[in-house]
Amino acid sequence: MALLPILTAPDPRLKKKSLPVETVDDGVRRLMDDMLETMYDAPGIGLAAPQVGVLKRIIVLDIDREDTKTGPLFMANPEIVEASDEDVSYEEGCLSVPDHYSDVVRPATVTVRYLDRDGLLQELACDGLLATCVQHEIDHLDGVLFIDHISALKRNMILRKLLKARKEQERDEAERGPAKAKAKDPEPAI
């Protein structure tokens, strides 16, 4: 397995629509495994292929906590086939929007249909953090970030700060060479 570089906003590749996977073959499984390792290392609880620059409809998730022992989930071509009328607000973060969090309102429960790591068709009813995470990751496959769900004012402020941080990092690296270790994010991001 290998760690893959994670793209950060405003990278134009994060705004592209990803293409469906034709078959879940060894190449897709290798990508899924690399994505999972990259997600754990970040650390995060969800990762979509476009976040590592691959425009394929693939996501990985692991929201393992005391109350929800789902283990890692691998999904190719995930689609929401049912969503509740009831909405819920959750403070979301994203590995591609580092250090920024915002409340996003989404359906509280969803059913997702997808191909698993063996290429078998599955359906999974999701609630709580898993429902939020699945919707956040599927958004990535359509070029949508959580900041696209908030006000333009707040979104532009976050994007300006990300650009500034990137420029500062590039300047520091030009002066001192690449940073040896990145600071670990205290909150898991999706």
Q: Supply the minimum distance, in Å, between the C-beta of residue 10 and Zn ion.
A: 14
Q: Considering the rule CB under 5 A, would residue 63 count as an interface residue with Zn ion?
A: no
Nearest to 8 by CA among 116, 125, 101, 94: 94
Determine if 59 is a binding residue for Zn ion (CB under 5 A). Answer: no
Residue nearest to Zn ion (CB): 94
Candidate list 73, 94, 112, 138; residue touching Zn ion; CB under 5 A: 94
**Residue (32 or 94) nearer to Zn ion, CB:** 94
Q: How far is the CB of 22 from Zn ion (least distance, A)?
A: 25
- 104 part of the interface to Zn ion, by CB under 5 A: no
Residues 127-186 that bind Zn ion (CB under 5 A): none
- Tell me the closest approach of the beta carbon of residue 162 to Zn ion, in angstroms: 13
Known catalytic residues? 137
In terms of CB distance, is 39 or 175 closer to Zn ion?
A: 39
Question: With respect to Zn ion, which residue has the nearer C-beta, 94 or 134?
Answer: 94
- Cis amide bond preceding 10, omega within 30: yes
Are 68 and 128 a contacting pair, CB within 8 Å? yes
Site residues (CB under 5 A) for Zn ion? 94
